[in-house]
Amino acid sequence: MITAKDLNPNFKREVLTLPGGETLLRCYSCGDCTASCPVSAIDRKFNPRRIMRMVILGLKERVLKSDFVWLCSTCYACQERCPQGVKIFEIMTLLKNMAVKEGYIHPSFKKQAELVRDLGRLYEIDDFDNKKRERLGLPPVKKVIEEVGEIFERTGATKLLK
Amino acid sequence: MRYAFFLGCTVPVRAQNYELSARKVAEVLGIELVNVSEFSCCGFPVKSTDAFTAELIAARNLAIASSLGLDVCTLCSSCGSTLTEVNRRLVRGTGLRGELEQIGREYRNRIDVRHFVRVLWEDVGVERIKSKIRRKLTSLNLAAHYGCHYLKPKEIFDFDEPEDPTSLDELVKITDATVTDYENKKTCCGGAILGIDEDDALQIAKRKLDSVREVQADALISICPFCSIMYEDNQRKIESRFESTYSIPVLYYPQLLGLALGLDPKELGLRMNRVRPDTLLSKLG
């Protein structure tokens, strides 16, 4: 059950000021997004229409603390088909970014971000990998791109990962 | 035709067959792929955590290509989509250029970003590829998989049509193979949530494998390393978890085209495919 004290009217205002978020209030809950979503098709826990509704209602805690916010497969089917032009993919992204700022980062995304920060890439490349590449006639790959770590420092993303 | 070759994270480690075949095909078709050792991750894996950091990582890569005066060519669809989107912002000249200068990079010359398949489709063109065909793959029945980020979001790409895509089908037809339609053709591979909910991700991939099996395709044709991880690397896992059998080879498009260009399967890295395409190769005679 939802009661008035669960509702935070500032939540939607925050979303409306962020890139892509300005389209949120166009949503009339038709459900085209959910019908198009490959995740919703197999797991009802993830439901973009419901998420848009929850944001408009102001259920900030429930959305940002949820497991489902991380379940978007980033396929864009919802956004492409929305008759109202709601940037659902962009809103899902900014909700995840907000969740991270509130300290609710999913461990899998945390790990990914740490790898990219430390190596400049998602997979570690060692001498064995480069030897294998050499045998195949492929050029070696640089193990670490330091500038990416500097970008994390600059944007404050390193602090977010603490 | 000269491009800065953007490998991204997955291709150089987990899809060397894709890289090998793309390089071979490029050579035959006169596409020059320039190696750039300073390229990093495209930024996409960081977007869910902090979109601005992701954007700056992408912008740095684009600045490097821009300083070389080269358009970027990607093999991974997510790299392609991420870089295309940020490149558009850089071209429009938003505050992002200033941010780049803060990290000692500059976006000097306007460049463009293209997926390798788009390079084949638009820059090389069907007629030119046709003129190089040495072997007809007439006996094959194939299912094309577009994935998501090759054509979406539509607003950043000005080619093909995500709701009714044709470019990959047409490129497969060049080899004289039959392209078969199948249910769930436009469905996502589920790769982005593999680390979040493995069961959900595998079930999403399973749906497509079911449809491809139903039309008895000899192979699924992929153009993105993560889609192949879902359909090929995880095929065994899907079989055991959901008690089904597929044995559906998943070929990268350049591997298929390479066969039609008369290249040797070994040169195209076909030995590295997890689901052995032996039956498919024997059908070619």
Summarised one tens digit per residue, pLDDT across range B62-71 is 999 999 999 9
ipTM of the complex: 0.97
Span B92-121, mean pLDDT?
95
Residue A140: predicted pLDDT: 97
CB-closest option in B19, B152, B269 to A80: B152
pLDDT at residue B93, rounded to an integer: 85
- pLDDT of A12 reads 97
Mean pLDDT for B260-270 is: 97
Tell if the CB–CB gap between B14 and A139 is shorter than 8 Å: no
Per-residue pLDDT reduced to its tens digit, B167-188: 999 999 999 999 999 999 999 9
Residue B38 above 90 pLDDT? yes
Q: Which residues of B touch A113 (CB under 8 A)?
A: 45-46, 49-50
Per-residue confidence (pLDDT) for residue B285, from 0 to 100: 77
Confidence band (pLDDT; 50, 70, 90) for B162? very high
High-pLDDT (> 70) share of chain A, %: 100
CA distance B102 to chain A (A): 9
Q: Indicate yes or no: CB of A42 within 8 angstroms of CB of B204.
A: yes
Q: Select from B41, B50, B269 the Cβ nearest to the Cβ of A120.
A: B41
CA distance B133 to chain A (A): 24
pLDDT at A1: 87
**A76 closest CB neighbour out of B20, B50, B152:** B152
- Classify B2 as helix, strand or coil: strand
* Alpha carbon of A54: minimum distance to chain B alpha carbons (Å): 19
Percent of chain B with pLDDT over 70: 100
Q: How far is Cα B66 from Cα A25, in angstroms, rounded to an integer?
A: 38
Please name which of A103, A115, A43 lies closest in space to residue A73, comparing C-alpha atoms. Answer: A43
Q: How far is A29 from chain B (nearest CA, A)?
A: 21
Give yes or no for residue B151 having a pLDDT over 90: yes
How many CA atoms are closer than 13 Å to the CA of B163, on its beta-carbon side?
7
pLDDT score for B176: 98
SS3 A131: helix
Measured distance CA(B253)–CA(B22) in Å, rounded: 9
**pLDDT by residue (tens digit) across A104-142?**
999 999 999 999 999 999 999 999 999 999 999 999 999
CA atoms of B197 and A70, how far apart (whole Å): 9
Asked whether the beta carbons of residue B56 and residue A154 sit closer than 8 angstroms, the reply is yes
pLDDT of B94 over the 80 cut: no
Please, are residues B194 and B119 in contact by the beta-carbon 8 Å criterion? Answer: no
Domains of chain B: 2-116 (1.20.1050.140), 134-273 (3.40.50.11810)
Q: Which residue of B has its CA nearest to A123?
A: B9
**How large is the average pLDDT for residues B56-81?**
98
Q: Please report, for residues A23, A26, A67, B26, B220, the alpha-carbon distance to residue A64 in angstroms, rounded to integers and kept in the order given.
A: 19, 21, 9, 46, 38
Q: What is the rounded average pLDDT for all residues in chain A?
A: 96
Residues of chain B contacting residue A39, judged by C-beta atoms under 8 Å apart: 190, 193, 200, 204
Q: Is B262 an interface residue toward A (CB < 8 Å)?
A: no
Per CB-CB distance under 8 Å, the chain A contacts of B33 are none
Chain A neighbors of B198, CB-CB under 8 A: none
Share of chain B above pLDDT 90, in %: 98
| pLDDT given at position B55 | 97
A100 vs B50: CB contact, 8 Å cut-off? yes
Q: What is the DSSP letter of B120?
A: I
Q: How far is B191 from chain A (nearest CA, A)?
A: 7
Q: Beta strands B32-35 and B2-6: pairing type?
A: parallel
Write down the pLDDT at residue A133: 97
Q: What is the pLDDT of residue B65?
A: 98
Above 80 in pLDDT, residue B203?
A: yes
Say if residue B147's pLDDT is above 90. Answer: yes
Q: Residue A148 is nearest to which of B40, B49, B154, comparing CB atoms?
A: B40
Residues A38, B188: Cα–Cα separation, whole Å:
7
- B178-179 and B219-222 beta bridge pairing: unpaired
